[in-house]
Amino acid sequence: MSTSILSLVKKHPILKDPRLFQITALSSFLAYGIFNLDWITDLPRIFTILSAGLIAQLFFMAGLKLPFGSWKSGAITSLGLCLLFQSSTPLMWILAPVLGISSKYFIRTKGKHLFNPANLGVILPIVLFGDAWISPGQWGSSAMLLFFFSSAALMVLFRVGRIDTSLTFLLTILVLEYFRSVVYLGWEFDWLFHKMSNGSLLLFAFFMITDPRTTPNASGARILWAVGIGVLSFVLTSWFYLHTAPMWALFFAAPAMVILDKIFKANVFQWTSIKPLQS
């Protein structure tokens, strides 16, 4: 019995395709939002973002004759936007995923996307139309923290890939905040814990900057890149009081990926090159 369950788990498609794992995790957060954070009233926004994102993805799939499996990438971008992007204008709910997904095909460099599509989908409406925002405080609670960390462990287990980026980024923030806020300023440890357990920060760390198509190819380059984003976020938060700093830091760090890829040579990531876990 137990062996059959184990073999069933081993054969589970989300272990074969990390994108399915991501879709499962992000959908769970969305369910958490709807049932526990009262996003019921947000259902029109969520529905519009998801449909617009998937339609945009299908459009590009048809136009560019992309493999069918690429719907997953569009779904991940749209789910990410549902979790992070806020606007009271329905037009923005359509524009954010459309802009984000279009950027994957229009702004490219050496077979990779220059900008993280979900990140760009959030930033562009804010910059261009000023009619959108990010709510960094919308998560909260330590149950989330627990879950995020278990997701992280799962990610390592199931080789989604860029766990080095997540951990480096979080560690950078943790160390810098520890020295500034706890050692220098004199806030207590729970101040730091509150900061590090922010749901939006963890969501960003585990599900946005880990996108293999917008992170540097070489492992060393990724570490440097994640440290850079961490430092920039820290500076923007501590001195410019920008509470949504990581999103902006990732946006500004996009060109750095190109430079890092030039210095550190490594193979370009391909989703299809991931081998199933059990062989």
Partner 1 sequence: MKSLKLFILACAALLSGIQVNAFCGFYVARADAKLFNNKSEVILVRNGDKTTVTMSNDFQGDVKDFAMVVPVPTVLKENDIKVVDKSIFEKLNEYSAPRLVEYYDSPPCPVEIVTEDYEVSVMLDQNWPTSANLTMSVADEFNYRVNVEARYEVGEYEILILSAEESDGLRRWLTDHDYKIPENADEVLDPYIKSNMKFFVVKVNLHKLSGSAFEELSPIQLTYNSDRFMLPIRLGMANAKGPQDMIVYTFTNQGRVECTNYRTVELPSNRNIPLFVEPQFGDFYKALYEKSWKQEGRNSVFLEYAWDVSPQQSVKCDPCVGPPPIANDLVKAGVDWLKNGWQGTAYFTRMHVRYERDKFPQDLQFQTTTNKERYQCRYILTHPASGDMSCEEGQKYLKELEQRRKRELDELAALTGWGVKNGNSYIKEFNNRLEDYEFSPVMTQEEDRGGIWTLLLSFLGISTLIMVIARAGKKRKLQSLPA
Smallest separation, CB 86 to partner 1 (Å) = 7
Distances (CA, A) of 93 to 43, 98, 236: 12, 9, 27
94 binds partner 1 (CB under 8 A): no
13 binds partner 1 (CB under 8 A): yes
Beta bridge partners of 134: 85
Q: What's the DSSP call for residue 127?
A: I
CB of 1 or CB of 64, closer to partner 1: 1
Beta-carbon contacts of 245 under 8 Å, excluding residues fewer than 6 positions away, are 232, 233, 234, 236, 237
Given 137, 220, 255, 276, the residue binding partner 1 (CB under 8 A): 137
Decide: helix, strand or coil at residue 260.
Answer: helix
Q: How many residues lie near partner 1 (CB under 8 A)?
A: 51
Pick the stretch among 48-56, 80-88, 247-255, 257-265 that binds partner 1 (CB under 8 A).
80-88
String marking each residue 15-54 x if it binds partner 1 according to CB under 8 A: -----x--xxx-xxx-xx--xxxx----------------
7 binds partner 1 (CB under 8 A): no
Secondary structure (DSSP) of 65-120: T--GGGHHHHHHHHHHHHHHEE-S-HHHHHHHHHHHHHHHHHSEETTEESS-HHHH
CB of 167 or CB of 182, closer to partner 1: 182
71 binds partner 1 (CB under 8 A): no
Smallest separation, CB 135 to partner 1 (Å) = 6
Beta-carbon contacts of 183 under 8 Å, excluding residues fewer than 6 positions away, are none
6 binds partner 1 (CB under 8 A): no
Q: Which of 25, 2, 5, 4 is nearest to 157 (CA)?
A: 25
140 binds partner 1 (CB under 8 A): yes
Smallest separation, CB 246 to partner 1 (Å) = 13
Give, as ranges, the residues between 175 and 234 that touch partner 1 (CB under 8 A).
Answer: 181, 184-188, 190-191, 193-195, 198
Give, as ranges, the residues between 145 and 174 that touch partner 1 (CB under 8 A).
Answer: 146-147
Helices and strands of the chain, counted as H and E runs: 13, 4
Phi/psi of residue 276, nearest 5 degrees: -60, 150
Give, as ranges, the residues between 237 and 276 that touch partner 1 (CB under 8 A).
Answer: 240-241, 243-244
Given 91, 128, 143, 153, the residue binding partner 1 (CB under 8 A): 143
- Alpha helix ranges (H) inside 160-218: 163-177, 189-196, 199-207
109 binds partner 1 (CB under 8 A): no
